[in-house]
Structure 1
Amino acid sequence: MWALAMASAAFALTALALVTTSASFDGRTQRDTARGPLLTDNRQQATALWKEAVDSFGTSPHGIVYVEPLKAGTPPPPGLSRWPRPGEVFLSPELARAAKDNNSLDRYGRYAGPIDKQGLRSPSERLAYARPAHAPADPTAASWQYITGFGQLFPMNQEIYPHTKAQTAGVIAVLMAVPALALLVVATRVGSATRDRRSHLVNALGASWAHRAVINVGEAFVPAALGTLVTLVPAAVLLATDVRLPFTGYIVDATDLRHAWPQLIASLAASLVLTLLLVVALHRVQRTKTATRPSTYSSHLPKWRLALCAAGVLAIAFSQYAPKGPDVAVFLAGTVLMWAMLPSAIAMLSVANGKRIAASGYREGNPGRLIAGRWTAAHPGVLVRLSVVFIIGIGLISHLQVWNSRLGDSAAAAEELTQRVGDTLFTVSSSNLAPGTTGELARALPDGTHLLATTAHPEGERPRIELAGSCPDLAALRLPCPATARPVTTRDPRLQELAAPYQGHLTVRAVKGALPTGRANQSLIVAADKPGRQAEVEKAAYAVLPGINVETPGESWVIGAHEKNRLNHWLYLFGGTGLALLLLTGLISAAAEFVRIRGGLAPLSVLTGNTRVFRAIATWYLTVPLLIATAIATFITNWHSLFFVVSLREGKFSWPVLATAAIGFSLAAVTIGLLAAHSARRAAPSWRPEAD
């Protein structure tokens, strides 16, 4: 009953996740459409100016939308009660929290308040609406766009979660629905021997499938309904308040789910109905035409499963030679086939091994090995249900590690770059930089910082980068002040990093007046005498030129790598839930087997006169086959992970992670055997002969 209740809850939880996903995407689309700017080329019809930019706090990027109303009475963007006044900024709650943590609440102007969640894609979105202190003199030259209002779907402030509703639902289906279904199948068949005998009996008495269905539904309805009702607790929380999902930091908007309450009720009801239908489907009997005697059948594994497993292995091996594009599909298809059928293949191997164990026990007069070997050969389905957790669990853990390494290498390299330089060197870039702007920026920068210009010369046999600045700024960096470009050597790690892409060649020249800007190979840098000045530098730069980009060397790489890495957090959320369901499936399978072993082995204490036989049987029947499954799964995972790395064309395989997973599952195999023996030993004293 409890197993079926847990399985029903897992199935209903998956349905809740799917409905929440659908409702969240629908709400995001509606809010995206409501706040999207209506662009126009007609200056006379325009009601406001609009410009989008991107910035970051730490490794988390956010969007900045600059607005400038042109006509009185124009409605502000959704989420704002009014237009920002000159020099003001509205921040989303998440962005305001990050700004406070980075001492940058006034980076884009005076903080005017939070953006209401009706104007955000999700409550966790980081977005700012800012208005420059001075209206742009030439909006077109400053990359402003004319708008007539808001109300169309516009791809602004794209989050790093690029998947669509269908893709997300597919991930949930694979990582949550499949394990939940496996748990439901196992729970439905727990203690099925008695129910199978009952089904055969009523079948022999002339009952139809409808009669048997009524009996099975009547038995399963209470635990299945209980599991579904338990899921109403997280559903009520999601309906009552915004919930931050673990690992991801994403906040689910309760309003979206409230709008989808009919779908929520329907999905939970459907999960209950499907649970009951599966219970009925898994308790079918074969009605024979020639006899009414209750029939039984022995467990056996069809040979076609072994053939499919071999086909999956071949598909993985030959996917490397397939054309680019189809190679991924071939690899994934082979992976699914191999992992789905590998438990059956290992169970067939255990059946053959069980026959040898039984023969050895018979020759040596060892009742433990004799019984264990015969049970192993007679019940391969038990080994399939138990080993599936070991095999898929080891593979899933190792493949998560490979996927993480694929996204983590670039982040590590980029972070190493930023650690060498720190926050004492900043690149400043904008398509609207002009000599007057650079002069204003130089005056706005705080004391202890120096503005210089760089000009890249990557062509020729001797590429170089030229550094230009005023004599005081060059002297602060311990550089000469030549009138013409002159090669220099420096021990300053910031300048060494700047010249590294050009074989370390750096030239310096002094300029009077405005710094050179405007060409494609020219940019500005700011050097600080001491760390901790980033907030001040960025505030000064944004006050001079809205939309300007200020970052440390390699910062964009670090941000991009970390944002890709955050995709793994969704994998942890869905995959971790699926793995937990898979482990629960294994525990229920093991518990059901303990019950069967306890009833079957208890009489042996009378026949053998001791209880040591229980440990021998449990070891050879459960522990040894599961250790074999772990060893084979470890070998196959190592082989398959190498192909996985080749398929991804990046990442690396970690033997320590695989070894840790193998050791953990090996200990689990030993524990299952010990618990099974202990269960039988405790049941032995209370066993009494029965006429069954």
Structure 2
Amino acid sequence: MSGNTRQWARDLWLGVRLAVSGGASGWTRTALTAVGIGLGVVVLLLAASVPQAMSGRGERADARSTFGAEVSAPADDTILVQDVWTEYRGERIAGRELQPEAGQDSTAVPPPGVSDFPAPGEVLVSPALARLLDSPNGELLAERLDYRRVGVIGDEGLLGSQELYYYLGVDDLVADSTGTRVDHFGDPPSLDSEVSPALILLVLVVAVVLLMPVPVFITTAARFGGERRDRRLAALRLVGADVRMTRRIAAGESLVGAAVGVLLGGLLFLAIRAPVAGISVSDTSFFLSDIVPGWPLTVLVLLVVPLLAIGTTLFAMRSVVVEPLGVVRQASGGPRRLLWRLVPALLGIGLLLPLLGDFSGTDSSVVQAIVGVVLLLSGATALLPWLVERCTARLRGGPVAWQLATRRLQLSSGPAVRAISGITVAVAGATALYMLFDGVRAAETTETGADLDRAQVEVVAWTADSALTEPLVEELRSTEGVQRVLPYIDSEAVPRVGGEGAPNEEPAYLRVGDCATLAELARIEDCADGEVYQAPAPDGWEISPSKPGDVLDLGAAPDGPEGERIQWTVPDGVRDVEPRDSPAGRLAYGLLATPGALEGQLPTDGSTRMLLQADVDAPDTLELLRNAVWAAPVEGQVWKLETSRISDELANIQIGMVVGASGVMALIAASMLVTTLEQLRERRRLLSALVALGTPRATLGASVLWQTAVPVVLGLALASGIGVLLGAMLMSLVRLPLGSWLAFLPMAGAGAGVIALVTLGSLPLLWRLMRPDGLRTE
């Protein structure tokens, strides 16, 4: 080992000893630094676990998939399967019906997580579904899934710990009709769905915005107790240490806090894994074994965090002169320079400008966009100290509390700026993210056209056989919370028959319902049973209307011999009416007939749709309707009508954004509280001296609040401006119309709210420190 290496090692070790042997003060500083760094490490480890979590979830989805496993001929190892699903109080409950074709002699392999196929009428459920069925909140669902439970599905057969999933044994599936014949499980889907560049950019910005505040908080925590450390270093200079030695000793002290912070962060990460695994957000959850960071990312976190802490300490000492007789840090130096602080923001703008209107989602454009966003957000952190210094330098006069606050900021605004730098980055990023998300949501949202004043629920039965659907209609009418049910038969592809009985290639469309129902599908006046109406299709659809004399095939005759078909001739006197969107937002064009016009020969091909006026705000109405449809002898579905619908990709991004933002805001609040407490501890003697001189506590308390409020207002103003600029550029990248210019208001409000809560949380320590006995020393 060379002499320089031994000297480095001795100096670092001395710094370590000073950090752990400095008494209560040294341990307090180390503990505060460790807590601040530990909170950031938790977030980094959680972020590093995302690839593993998504990979595990995808592997289990592939293992139970039957995509590509279809076979044509039955065999001893073939199974008929059908995917089914229902919804309960906003939670999607998916399942799969299983029917081994060889019965008890089947050699088929059960799906993952299942040891044996359930017999007809038996069900295997996930642990989360079992808990829901056994809870008082799941009584209505238990009525719907009233099967004999014979076990639970293992973890390897579920996507997540909170997934609501089941396997049901049946014996009534028919191949190529109600069931699909497969011979194994585990063929992953090979379809690659294309994601729009706007969604790709949105995902990138979400990741950057959620992670950007973390290094800011880590560097802030690494500078805790800087003034006390510098005084200790001055004492070392007095006994012979040179400038380089003091810096190495300071690096050793920071290394201790960083190492303890990494250890604490690792322990906190292990402690929160189980609660995180128990959380389900919009049907998305993970197992405990999924929440494991990959080794490369873990090693990167373990190396980068201590190096970042040491680098921050050395960078902070560049403007501090540690001499044997004291520390020179408060001598008035030159003002902060603006030019170099503009460089990150200008570089970020320079990288984003070439992508305006031309972001394709390729690897190169993705890297360029990420770097540009990071640099522009970093510009907010670089500009904030200059802005606070220039603005506070012009403040004069005012009450005593105001003067104490402004004078403190004029002498040293660094600690106050560092305390809010993280929230500044978060607000700037969140403002840009909100603008981009709002633009993407407008592009990815589909207006359904539903009229919630006319109906709130639509029930669809996948048959037009009135013998099967009429009991269901009566059951729905008697359901609690339902005021009105309007059923009609929807035959959307009824073949027309020419003069010799040959089917015509062009389909006809027929809706059959009473006058009250038809009035919801078209603008009909003076309706009477026996009437037939013609609602033309929109221009450009190239759909020819049915004419009187056309013979329509309505499906198989329910009571006739096999092969007999119901045929109906379009009568004379068909009245033209103007079509209108149904309450469900569906345009009903074609023939609209009352039952009397068909002389009792109702269609059997097609579906039956029921428009319901119901109290959907009542917690049980939708579940009672779903139970009625589930128990009916027909397959059907219950839909709560909505005026708009967003894409599944955007919904998943929104879920991730909400979860991530909640975690980052918690990190922001906790880290700022730690930072504020450390600053108050550093100024204990000053506060005690002012109290001893007779300064009222209320005045000191107000001055501390003003010291926080002034940088906060300036930081939020800067963050709002940069956030709006970044948001406008991101929207231009993917050619979204510019808008949401006031997106900074809720973001700035949330940031101010977090700071207010942190300030209130620090008041108890402030009152405790404002006592004359704080001047005692040894």
Q: TM-score, normalised by structure 2?
A: 0.64
* Secondary structure of 2:673's aligned partner: helix
Partner in structure 1 of residue 713 of structure 2: 627
8 Å contact 2:469–2:608 — kept in the other structure?
no
SS of equivalent residue, structure 2 residue 161: coil
Would you say the 8 A contact 1:33–1:151 is kept in 2?
Answer: yes
Q: Percent identity among equivalent residues?
A: 17
Would you say the 8 A contact 2:60–2:157 is kept in 1? yes
CA distance in 2: counterparts of 1:207 and 1:401, whole angstroms: 51
Q: Is the 8 A contact 2:401 2:703 kept in 1?
A: yes
Which range is displaced more, 474-483 or 298-307?
A: 474-483
- Give the structure 2 partner of residue 182 of structure 1: 216
SS in 1 for 2:672: helix
Match of 1:480 among 529, 550, 553: 529
Aligned pair partner of 1:534 in 625, 629, 644: 625
Distance 1:618 1:115 in 2: 58
1:281 to 299, 302, 311: 311
The answer to whether residue 661 in structure 2 is matched with residue 575 in structure 1 is yes
1:214, distance to aligned residue in structure 2 (A): 7.0
Letter in 1 for 2:460: T
Aligned counterparts of 1:219 and 1:8: Cα–Cα separation in 2:
11
1:132–1:415 CA distance, 2 compared to 1 (3 A): farther
CA contact (8 A) 2:724 2:743 kept: no
Match of 1:348 among 372, 379, 386: 386
CA distance in 2, matches of 1:670, 1:499: 46
Q: Secondary structure in 1 aligned to 2:260? A: helix
CA distance in 2, matches of 1:557, 1:13: 38
Among 331, 337, 342, the alignment partner of 1:306 is 342
List aligned pairs for 1:123-142, cutoff 5 A.
123-136=161-174, 139-140=175-176, 142=177
Indicate how the Cα distance of structure 1 residues 189 and 620 shifts in structure 2: closer, same or farther if over 3 A, else same. same
Shift of 1:403: 6.8
Where 2:220 maps in the other structure, the secondary structure is: helix
Amino acid at match of 2:34: A
SS at match of 1:525: strand
How big is the shift at 1:189? 0.6
Deviation at 1:398, TM superposition (A): 4.4
- Correspondences of 1:74-473 after superposition (within 5 Å): 74-95=108-129, 101=138, 103=140, 105=142, 110-113=147-150, 114-136=152-174, 139-140=175-176, 142=177, 144-154=179-189, 174=208, 177-199=211-233, 205=240, 217=252, 221=256, 224-225=259-260, 228-229=263-264, 232=267, 235=270, 238=273, 243-245=277-279, 250-256=284-290, 275-284=305-314, 300=336, 303-312=339-348, 320-322=356-358, 334-357=372-395, 376=409, 379=412, 381-395=414-428, 398=431, 417=451, 420-423=454-457, 425-429=458-462, 438=465, 441-442=468-469, 445=472, 447=474, 452-455=489-492, 466-468=510-512
Counterpart pick for 1:525 among 609, 633, 645 = 609
Distance 1:642 1:577 in 2: 26
1:17 aligns with 2:46: yes
Aligned residue number for residue 480 of structure 2:
none
Cα separation, 2, equivalents of 1:595 and 1:20: 36
Structure 2 counterparts to residues 488-507 of structure 1, below 5 A:
496-497=582-583, 501=587
- Distance in 2 between residues matched to 1:104 and 1:179, nearest whole Å: 43
What do you get for the CA RMSD once the two structures are aligned?
Answer: 5.9
User: Is the contact between residue 427 and residue 553 of structure 1 (CA under 8 Å) also seen in structure 2?
Assistant: no
CA 1:82/1:677 → structure 2, altered by over 3 Å: closer, same or farther? closer
- Mark the CA change 1:549 to 1:95 in structure 2 (over 3 Å): closer, same or farther: farther
SS at match of 2:98: strand
CA 1:374–1:68 in 2, change beyond 3 Å: closer, same or farther? same
Deviation string, structure 1 residues 351-396 (Cα, Å, up to 9, x no partner): 2334444xx67xx9x9998987676456453353134244234445
Rounded Cα–Cα distance in structure 1 between residues aligned with 2:686 and 2:407: 13
Cα offset, 1:577, TM superposition: 1.6
Determine the structure 1 residue equivalent to 2:98: 67
Partner Cα separation in structure 2 for residue 681 and residue 287 of structure 1: 31
**How many residues end up aligned between the 2 structures?**
648
Q: Go from structure 1 to structure 2 and tell me whether the alpha carbon gap of 1:287 and 1:414 turns closer, same or farther (over 3 Å shift).
A: closer
Deviations 1:236-275 (CA, angstroms, capped at 9, x unpaired):
5746x99422755644323556xx6xx7999889866655
**Amino acid of the structure 2 residue aligned with 1:453:** D
Check the 8 A contact 1:86/1:132 in 2, yes or no. yes
2:637 equivalent to 1:550? yes
Q: 2:752 & 2:520 partners in 1: Cα distance? A: 61
The C-alpha deviation readout for 1:182-221, integer Å capped at 9, x for no partner, is 2222121111123245457758946797996577546764
Partner of 2:33: 4
User: 1:292-344: per-residue Cα shift (whole Å, max 9, x none)?
Assistant: 96786769456322233245467778865546658988776554333321243
Change (3 A) 1:663 1:310: same
- Name the one with the larger helix percent: 1
**574-583 or 638-647: bigger deviation:** 638-647
Range with greater deviation from structure 2 (566-575 or 117-126): 566-575
Contact residue 52 and residue 66 of structure 1 kept, 8 A: yes
* 2:461–2:637 Cα contact (<8 Å) kept: yes
Taking structure 1 as reference, are residues 675 and 221 closer, same or farther at Cα in structure 2, changes over 3 Å only? closer
For structure 1, the residue ranges without an aligned partner over 5 or more in a row are 458-463
